[in-house]
Amino acid sequence: MSPALAARQRLPDVAFALAAFVAPAALYVASASHEPASWDTAELQGVPYILGIAHPTGFPLYVLLGYAWSHVFAIGTVAWRMNVAGGLAMAAVAAAAYAVALRFGASRPIALLATLWFACTQNVWAHGARAEAQTLAVACSALAIYTFVRWMQGGADVWFAAAFALCGLGMAAHPNALWVLPALVAGAAIAPRRPRFRLLCVSCALVAGSLLLYLYLPLRSAYVVAHGLDPALALPGAGGGIFWNYNDPSALAGLMLELTGSDFQTPSYFLASLNPMHAQDALAAFVAGIGTQYGAVALVLVFVGGAAAWRRDWRTTLVLVIACTAGLLFSVVYPNESDVGRYRLLVSWIAVPLLGALTPQAPRRAALGHAALALLLAAGAVSAFEHQRGFFERSPHEGGRWVIDAVRPYVPPGSVIVTGWLDATSLAYGAYVDRSLEGRIVVSDDQMRTGFYGLWAAKRRVFLLINPSDEGAIPGTRKYASLDAYHELLEVER
C-alpha cells in the first residue's frame, strides 16, 4: 500500500478524533469569562500567573503549567487565559473518552456523538469553561485509563508505563487522581499477560518522579519569603498570605498542612472513605450523577452497555469501572466541598465508552440499531447543548470584578482588607495579578479573628468586608461604607 493511499484511509480516523477534541474546546473557549471569578476559581486563575502557592494541596503541576501558559499565551485577561487552559484540558478529557469508546467497540460516529453529549452536560461544561485544577487532573486520569486499556488489549509495554506516569502527573495536579491508581494495580493483577518486574519498577519510579513536583511548594515558598514577595509578611501573625504563600510551606509545619490538608480534616475523611459501608452511598451517587446529567433513559442504557462490555472483555471493563467510580467513596464522605461535582467528572466520562459499547455487533441488526443509537445520542447532545446555552451569556464586570470595582474607591493603597475566602480570592486577583487593586494587602479570614487587626491598624488602615446579615458587632470597628445588601465595609479603629 502506498503512503498516499494509507494516509487517505487514515483520514476519517484523524477527522473524527480531531472533532472529539476541537468541538468541545470551541464550546469551552467561546463560553469562558474574561473576568476574575470568586472562591477557588479566582485563586486558580491568579496563582499560576504569579507562580504562587495555592490552597492545599498546592497543585504544583497545575501551577507550573499555568505559569507557562498564562505568559506564553499572552492574549486577553489572565483570568480568561486560565479559563481557556481549563477548557483545553476538558477537551482532552473528551478526546480520551472518544478514544476509549473506540476500544470498547464503538463505531466512530457513535463514539463521537456520545463524546459530544458528554461535553455538553451541565457538570462537564460548567467546569470546562473555567480555571480548575481538577480538570487537569481528570485529563491526566482519562489519558491514563486510555493508555492502560491500550496495554490490556495487546499494546506495547510503553502504554503500561505511560498510564502510571499520567496517574502520577494527575496526582501532582490534584490528589483526587489517586483514585485511578487502584484500577491500574487491579488491571496489572488480572491482565492475561503479567507485566514484567522491570516494567513494574519503572512504572513505580515514574509515579514517584511525578510526585516530586510537590518539591515546588517548599522551594518556591522559601524564595517568596527570602525575597519578600508576599505582602502579608508585613502583618504580624498573618502567616502565609493567600495567592503568594498559603500555609507558608517553607516551614515544615506549613508544608505538612499544605500536603495533607489537615486544617480541613482531609486525612480523617480519606480514611473514612475506605469504609466499605459507604459503597452504597457511592452507588447512589453514581446513579444520581448519570441520571442528572444524561437522563433516565441514558442511565438504563449505560448499565446495558456496561453489561455488554463485560461480556466482551470483563477485565478491561472492571478496570474502567474502578477507575471512574473509586473516587466517589471520598466524595460522599467529604463535607468540606461546596462543589462536589468536580470530584465526579469521571462518572459522566464513563458513560461515553459504555454507551459506545452498545454499538450493534451482529451484521443483520447493525444498520437499524446503529441508526437508532446514533439518533438517540445526537438528540441527547443537541438537548444538552440547548440547556447549557446560558454559559455563553457573559455580562460586563461579572463575578469577582464587581467586588474589586466596588472596594477600590474606599480602600486606598497601603491598606489591609480582610474578608472571607469567597471574596478574598477576587480581591487578591485584583491586588496581585491584574493590579487593579495595587498596593492593597488581602487577608482571607472566614472567622474574623480580630486579635491582630488592632496591631495592624497601628501602622496602616485595616478594613473588614463582611456580610452584615452574618456578622454581629465586631469590637474595635466602625461602619465605613455599604456596598450592597451583602457587602459592608468596616474600618478597624486605631
Span 82-101, average pLDDT: 98
Instruction: Please report the pLDDT score of residue 303 as a whole number.
Output: 96
Instruction: Please report the pLDDT score of residue 125 as a whole number.
Output: 96
Q: Which of 94, 79, 56 is nearest to 348 (CA)?
A: 94
DSSP 105-152: T--HHHHHHHHHHHHHSHHHHHHHTS--HHHHHHHHHHHHHHHHHHHH
Q: Cell 470530584 identifies what position?
A: 343
- H or E element in which residue 90 lies: helix 78-103
Q: How confident is the model at residue 190 (pLDDT cuts 50, 70, 90)?
A: very high
Specify whether the CB–CB gap between 391 and 125 falls below 8 A.
yes
Instruction: Please report the pLDDT score of residue 365 as a whole number.
Output: 61
Q: How confident is the model at residue 81 (pLDDT cuts 50, 70, 90)?
A: very high
Instruction: Please report the pLDDT score of residue 265 as a whole number.
Output: 84
Mean pLDDT of the chain: 92
Rounded CA-CA distance 263/371 in Å is 53
Residues 295-341 pLDDT 10s:
999 999 999 999 999 999 999 999 999 999 999 999 899 887 778 89
Q: Is the peptide bond before 477 cis (omega within 30 degrees of 0)?
A: no
Rounded CA-CA distance 367/361 in Å is 10
| Number of Cβ atoms within 10 Å of the Cβ of 91 | 24
For residue 6, pLDDT over 60 is answered with no
For residue 472, pLDDT over 70 is answered with no
For residue 489, pLDDT over 80 is answered with yes
Rounded CA-CA distance 261/90 in Å is 25
Q: How confident is the model at residue 362 (pLDDT cuts 50, 70, 90)?
A: low
For residue 286, pLDDT over 70 is answered with yes
Q: How confident is the model at residue 432 (pLDDT cuts 50, 70, 90)?
A: very high
Q: How confident is the model at residue 267 (pLDDT cuts 50, 70, 90)?
A: confident
Q: Which of 129, 128, 61, 130 is nearest to 348 (CA)?
A: 128
Specify whether the CB–CB gap between 330 and 273 falls below 8 A.
yes
Burial class of 30 by CB neighbour count within 10 A (0 to 12, 13 to 18, 19+): exposed
Instruction: Please report the pLDDT score of residue 313 as a whole number.
Output: 94
CA neighbours within 13 Å on the CB side: how many for 267?
8
Residue 465 per-residue DSSP state: E
Sequence-distant (≥ 6) Cβ neighbours of residue 80 within 8 angstroms: 32, 33, 34
Rounded CA-CA distance 379/97 in Å is 19
Specify whether the CB–CB gap between 445 and 422 falls below 8 A.
no
Percentage, residues of the chain above pLDDT 90: 78
For residue 428, pLDDT over 60 is answered with yes
Q: How confident is the model at residue 238 (pLDDT cuts 50, 70, 90)?
A: confident
Rounded CA-CA distance 480/491 in Å is 6
Instruction: Please report the pLDDT score of residue 471 as a whole number.
Output: 58
Strand order across the 441-444 sheet: 441-444, 416-419, 462-466, 487-492, 477-484
Query: Residue 461 region, left (φ>0) first, then alpha (ψ -120 to 50), else beta?
Result: beta
Span 144-152, average pLDDT: 97
Burial class of 244 by CB neighbour count within 10 A (0 to 12, 13 to 18, 19+): buried
For residue 240, pLDDT over 60 is answered with yes
DSSP 300-363: HHHHHHHHHHHHH-HHHHHHHHHHHHTTHHHHTT--S-S-GGGG-HHHHHHHHHHHHTTS--SH
For residue 405, pLDDT over 80 is answered with yes
3-state secondary structure of 430: helix
For residue 138, pLDDT over 70 is answered with yes
Span 157-186, average pLDDT: 97
Instruction: Please report the pLDDT score of residue 4 as a whole number.
Output: 59
Residues 7-60 pLDDT 10s:
565 777 789 999 999 999 999 999 999 999 999 999 999 999 999 999 999 999
Specify whether the CB–CB gap between 133 and 59 falls below 8 A.
yes
For residue 166, pLDDT over 60 is answered with yes
Specify whether the CB–CB gap between 258 and 57 falls below 8 A.
yes
Residues 210-233 pLDDT 10s:
999 999 999 999 999 999 999 999
For residue 5, pLDDT over 60 is answered with no
Instruction: Please report the pLDDT score of residue 270 as a whole number.
Output: 86
Instruction: Please report the pLDDT score of residue 361 as a whole number.
Output: 63
Rounded CA-CA distance 170/481 in Å is 45
Instruction: Please report the pLDDT score of residue 61 as a whole number.
Output: 98
Span 147-160, average pLDDT: 96
DSSP 2-38: -HHHHHHHHHHHHHHHHHHHHHHHHHHHHT--SS--S
